[in-house]
Chain A
Amino acid sequence: MRVIARLDIKNEFVIKGIHLEGLRKVGDPCDLAKQYYENGIDELLLMDAVASLYDRNNLFHIIESACREVFIPITVGGGIRQLSDIDAALKSGADKVAINTGAVNNPDLIREASMRYGSQAIVASIEAKRAGDSWTAYVDNGREPTGKSVIEWSEELAELGAGEIIVTSIDQEGTKKGFDIDLIEQVNRAVTIPVIACGGLGTTTHIEQLVDRVQPSAIACASVFHYKVLGITDIKQTLIGCGRKVREAA
């Protein structure tokens, strides 16, 4: 299982919200990226928190800087709307792109992008909010409901050629109260591509609870790292304790 550090970025700052709302600044992107790399994180996820809101792309210069000293996979998301955006992201040093709003507005983007760049470079990103017994997908950083069922949408995305799916629970993210395990379980069951679980990690017990029921390919964490609640080693030791294979921090 991979452990991924998620950095939501606005302009020059890493920010951290709750329920994808709020812009509290928590650090410098390049500093944090380097720090997590040196502490053994497996991958980095850099999300432009406001790209859709402001109809712009701002992260590429940050990726360029981060890449000079960080030699693990980097996924870039936020405001990826067309092939030229993907091109620019990969050229600046990203290995993968995460796409949410762009895919909802134009599902063919996933198909075209995976044919052009290979599905492994295309991560479909889903923001999920609980609605009764199921979940609805949101776009624009949790701002606009789409009316799409998360489970059906994840199946469609996999069929379109996405290489991975990252599913973020809007209800749990930023709260440090635990994962939405039902959500992750159902998405994982719905597809055969790797699923990255995101949103809610607060204690090592949450990891044990998650892994007891479902084996996502990776977990993405933000609050616990940015607020120094848990270390990367803590998380990896817990996973090893649960019998998961993890990369020894190097």
Chain B
Amino acid sequence: MRKHRSLSTAAVVVTALLALGACSSSDKSAASKAPDATPTGAAVAMNGVLPTPKTTVRDAVTALLTAEQQGDHAASFLLIDDAGRADYPDVLRWRDRRNELPAITGFRIVGNGKAANSVDVLVDHAPALDPFIGLSPAQEHQIWVGQREHGGWLLDADATSDPVLPAESGVAPAAMAWLQAAKACDANAVNATQGVTQLLGVGNAVDQLCAAKPVLNAGKPGPVKAGAATQQLVAQYNADAVGWARSVTLTGGTQPIDVLLAPIGDSWRVIGVFS
């Protein structure tokens, strides 16, 4: 008897729960679908601001990048298209997105992109490495795409970017310059050739080289090797780092040393050592 009662009461509970849950879900569906069904025009107005389209894509790019250069995200927000404002519905979220990218210090339109409604811009940044942004290249090409909306041109919220890196031929000499500075125990010269104060990998590599003064030769630069170097590089600077970082192997000592370099401004700097 006891078991029977338990089962029947449990069934009552489950039935009640399912019924209540069904009511809640249907209510929620209606509520949550409403924003998706909002027509474009209403979506534009829902944040209380209206976009400010420009007469050409170039004008829109100039206005947006000028505002960004001045740190005026509220002004640049008015130049992104409807799809962009669906992704970033208000200035605060647009600001959050822009803060994920290197700050703009200058720009120059260099031509059209491959598509008729796109513009190629050479954008300047303060060169740096940052654990949140990754590489802030001195310059990068950005392709901005325009959309004809609201009587003029607005822009896709996110441009594609392609950093301008220093010549590959500078990688090995930069590694050797750092090596010589380390062997000479010259702290100032080491700092001038490093891109970070704390090296990835063997953190005390400079001290070891200063003590041992090995005779080493640089091999041909290449991509960062799989394993610890890639793991630490990606952990510190995101996966983009695999694209811009280079590795040079120094041989001639008791074991080869892999030196990691980053393009800081117009030169290559050492950021890690792996053995």
| A interacts with B | no
Residues of A within 8 A of B (CB): none
